[in-house]
Amino acid sequence: MLELHYIRANKERVLQGLKTRNFTEEELGIIEQIIQLDDTRKDTQTELDSLLAERNQLSKEIGSLFKQGKKEEAESQRERVASLKARASELEEKLRSTQESLAEQLYKVPNIPHESVPAGSTEEDNEVFRPWPGELPKLPEGALPHWELAQKYNIFDLDLGTKITGSGFPLYRGKGARLQRALIAFFLDEAVKAGYEEIIPPLLVNEDTARATGQLPDKEGQMYYVERDNLYLIPTAEVPLTNIYRDVILDEKDFPIKLTGYTPCFRREAGSYGAHVRGLNRVHQFDKVEIVQFQHPDKSYDTLHEMLAHVEGVLQKLELPFRILRLCGGDLGFTSALTFDFEVYSAAQHRWLEVSSVSNFETYQSNRMKLRFRDGKSTRLAHTLNGSALALARIVAALLENNQTPEGIVIPKALQDYTGFGLLD
RNA sequence: GGUGACGUGGGUGAGUGGCUGAAACCACCGGUUUGCUAAACCGGCAUACUCUGAAAGGGGUAUCGCGGGUUCGAAUCCCGCCGUCACCGCCA
């Protein structure tokens, strides 16, 4: 969430940012509300603190009066304390409820978009930050979409997944399974080569963790939830990886911290059905290698571009046509300040498929997480960033479609060491 | 799942009702000394909120796993929860 002192000191900038996110005049009122609640909070706290200070002082006096045997004086002081206490508990209650509504309001305010974020309301308005420089691949007549290639080569099976679990849970088999494993290993190796530490995190997380990265309270419906144990299945490795540093105070010299992790990702995707979600285009479970960085605020945008370059490099090695979008205010994630999406071209579907999303959250997550670093005598919030490098299911879809030949599916050179075969047939 | 013990600052660990935001030691930082390193000595060393101040700083409140209770006063007593460890049971 946004820092209160930031909102107070940069009200105009905050309002401007929310406008980029298409907040209406009425919705913008939340900022004034928050400031007023914070005023109340401060006043209440100040009053309560001085009351408690008085009580502590009296208590000390009572102690020494008892020691001196001045019982009567002590008794009268005790009565004074009793009246203080009544007022104090009123104030405590007021403070508690004020803080509660303050937090509730703050949770409703998304991150302030970076100044480069274009205006716009839908994905149509996203800016093509880097178009694909070459020609888009053209497949001969009769080229198959990936779900038909899957049947032809028996590499994954959605019906079996449906039988075992439900729709949207693909089952990979044979060379298809091997291709998954190859891609995961390839992506992890690339990240490790780029200096990221490999992590295997838990796949279920608790409430505190889900709240810290911003999945709760607003994206509750996106996650699978294990009620009995009050745990959530992760929608992305970002959640456990980022939370490693929850409630941590770093040294400036610790930056940058670079983590990578492969995990399956679970998403309910409630309400999205139709032609565009066929095959592997949108599934409830998919594999992904994530990269995460923690960085000094002054350097986080350099880091964002470094991460972009990493993802670019990986896609180039896979020899897939891709473009980079800068998300507009309306499409930008709730917690992000700036996001670039990578899309690969799926030649049989004639569509761009999103395969990576690289974002700078600035202090939005770290404020929820209390992730700080020492800056001289005081502490400051660190910046958090993450990106997919990469999400498997759609990469597989594009790979299958774009590389189909009459003989089989050609595996890009960079992957062949991992698959152990050059042609999937 | 059962039973028992325990949960104090970066670490070890003292502290069973007021003088304890918390001894001591280690680590760390600054300084003195030093041919270099080491040692020795001196000093510093939690976080959040808040008031005050131009600032440096100063004052206050809260925090000894978390939440509640008793009390004029709680790290210390009571209750609940969570976690750790040990043993038993079960088990990849």
Residue A118 covered by a domain: no
* Co-location of A87 and A153 in the same domain: no
Using the Cα atoms of residue A373, residue A378, residue A381 and residue A383 in order, give the sign of their dihedral: negative
Close Cβ partners of A182 (under 8 Å, ≥ 6 residues apart): A415, A418, A419, A420
Residue A74 covered by a domain: yes
Residue A112 covered by a domain: no
Q: Which nucleotide is nearest to A48 (CA to C1')?
A: B61
Q: Which nucleotide is nearest to A74 (CA to C1')?
A: B72
The ipTM of this complex is 0.89
Q: How far is the CA of A226 from the C1' of B86 (A)?
A: 30
Residue A200 covered by a domain: yes
For residue A256, cis peptide bond before it (omega within 30 degrees of 0):
yes
* Co-location of A90 and A128 in the same domain: no
Asked if residue A193 keeps its beta carbon closer than 7 A to nucleic acid strand B, the reply is no
Residue A192 covered by a domain: yes
* Co-location of A67 and A140 in the same domain: no
Backbone angles phi, psi at A309, to 5 degrees: -65, -35
Question: Contact A147/A278 with Cβ under 8 angstroms?
Answer: yes
* Co-location of A172 and A101 in the same domain: no
* Co-location of A151 and A191 in the same domain: yes
Asked if residue A138 keeps its beta carbon closer than 7 A to nucleic acid strand B, the reply is no
Q: How far is the CA of A269 from the C1' of B70 (A)?
A: 51
pLDDT of residue A249: 92
| Enclosing domain of residue A281 | 123-424
pLDDT of residue A273: 64
- In the numeric block, the tokens 């299945």 are attached to A233
Q: Which nucleotide is nearest to A4 (CA to C1')?
A: B49
* Co-location of A338 and A213 in the same domain: yes
* Co-location of A317 and A387 in the same domain: yes
Q: Where is the domain boundary, A71, A106, A141?
A: A106
pLDDT of residue A310: 98
Residue A201 covered by a domain: yes
Q: How far is the CA of A389 from the C1' of B7 (A)?
A: 41
Q: Which nucleotide is nearest to A206 (CA to C1')?
A: B82
Domain with residue A151: its CATH number is 3.30.930.10
Beta-strand pair A257-266/A197-199:
parallel
For residue A217, cis peptide bond before it (omega within 30 degrees of 0):
yes
* Co-location of A89 and A234 in the same domain: no
From residues 360-419 of A, which are strand B contacts by CB within 7 A?
372, 374, 377-379
Q: Which nucleotide is nearest to A51 (CA to C1')?
A: B61
- In the numeric block, the tokens 């009200």 are attached to A11
Residue of A176, A91, A76, A110 whose CA lies nearest to A330: A110
* Co-location of A66 and A149 in the same domain: no
- In the numeric block, the tokens 């470094």 are attached to A306
Q: At what angle do helices A11-20 and A25-67 cross, to 10 degrees?
A: 140
pLDDT tens for each residue of chain A, 425 residues long: 999 999 999 999 999 999 999 999 999 999 999 999 999 999 999 999 999 999 999 988 888 777 777 777 777 788 888 888 888 889 999 999 999 999 999 999 999 999 999 999 999 999 999 999 999 999 988 899 999 999 999 999 999 999 999 999 999 999 999 999 999 999 999 999 999 999 999 999 998 999 999 888 878 889 999 888 889 999 999 999 999 999 999 988 889 999 999 999 999 987 666 667 788 999 999 999 999 999 999 999 999 999 999 999 999 999 999 999 999 999 999 999 999 999 999 999 999 999 999 999 999 999 999 999 988 888 999 999 999 999 999 999 999 999 999 999 999 999 999 999 999 99
* Co-location of A95 and A164 in the same domain: no
Asked if residue A230 keeps its beta carbon closer than 7 A to nucleic acid strand B, the reply is no
Residue A65 covered by a domain: yes
Q: How far is the CA of A58 from the C1' of B22 (A)?
A: 22
- The domain tally of chain A equals 2
* Co-location of A223 and A75 in the same domain: no
Asked if residue A53 keeps its beta carbon closer than 7 A to nucleic acid strand B, the reply is yes
Q: Where is the domain boundary, A106, A140, A161?
A: A106
The protein footprint on chain B, as nucleotides within 7 A of a CB, is: 18, 47-51, 57, 59-62, 72-73
Q: Alpha-carbon distance A385 to A105, whole Å?
A: 24
Q: Which nucleotide is nearest to A249 (CA to C1')?
A: B47
Question: Contact A66/A39 with Cβ under 8 angstroms?
Answer: no
For the CA atoms of chain A, what is the radius of gyration? 27
Strand order in the sheet with A197-199: A127-130, A322-326, A338-346, A351-362, A383-391, A285-295, A257-266, A197-199
Q: How far is the CA of A372 from the C1' of B11 (A)?
A: 21
Residue A111 covered by a domain: no
Q: Which nucleotide is nearest to A82 (CA to C1')?
A: B72
pLDDT of residue A62: 87
State how far Cα A338 lies from the chain centre: 12
Close Cβ partners of A356 (under 8 Å, ≥ 6 residues apart): A311, A341, A342, A387, A388, A389, A390, A391
Domain with residue A45: its CATH number is 1.10.287
Asked if residue A248 keeps its beta carbon closer than 7 A to nucleic acid strand B, the reply is no
Asked if residue A42 keeps its beta carbon closer than 7 A to nucleic acid strand B, the reply is yes
pLDDT of residue A63: 82
* Co-location of A101 and A137 in the same domain: no
From residues 77-96 of A, which are strand B contacts by CB within 7 A?
78, 81-82, 85
Q: How far is the CA of A230 from the C1' of B76 (A)?
A: 34
| HEC string for chain A | CCCHHHHHHCHHHHHHHHHHCCCCHHHHHHHHHHHHHHHHHHHHHHHHHHHHHHHHHHHHHHHHHHHCCCHHHHHHHHHHHHHHHHHHHHHHHHHHHHHHHHHHHHCCCCCCCCCCCCCCCCHHHCEEEECCCCCCCCCCCCCCCHHHHHHHHCCEEHHHHHHHCCCCCCEECCHHHHHHHHHHHHHHHHHHHCCCEEECCCCEECHHHHHHCCCCCCCHHHCCEEHHHCEEECCCCHHHHHHCCCCCEECHHHCCEEEEEEEEEECCCCCCCCHHHCCCCCCCEEEEEEEEEEECHHHHHHHHHHHHHHHHHHHHHCCCCEEEEECCCCCCCCCCCEEEEEEEEECCCCEEEEEEEEEEEECHHHHHHCCEEEECCEEEECEEEEEEEEEHHHHHHHHHHHCEECCEEECCHHHHHHHCCCEEC
Using the Cα atoms of residue A365, residue A367, residue A372 and residue A377 in order, give the sign of their dihedral: positive
Q: How far is the CA of A375 from the C1' of B35 (A)?
A: 37
Q: How far is the CA of A333 from the C1' of B78 (A)?
A: 48
Q: Where is the domain boundary, A58, A80, A106?
A: A106
Q: Which nucleotide is nearest to A372 (CA to C1')?
A: B47
Asked if residue A8 keeps its beta carbon closer than 7 A to nucleic acid strand B, the reply is no
From residues 303-362 of A, which are strand B contacts by CB within 7 A?
none
Intra-chain end-to-end CA distance of chain A, in Å: 50
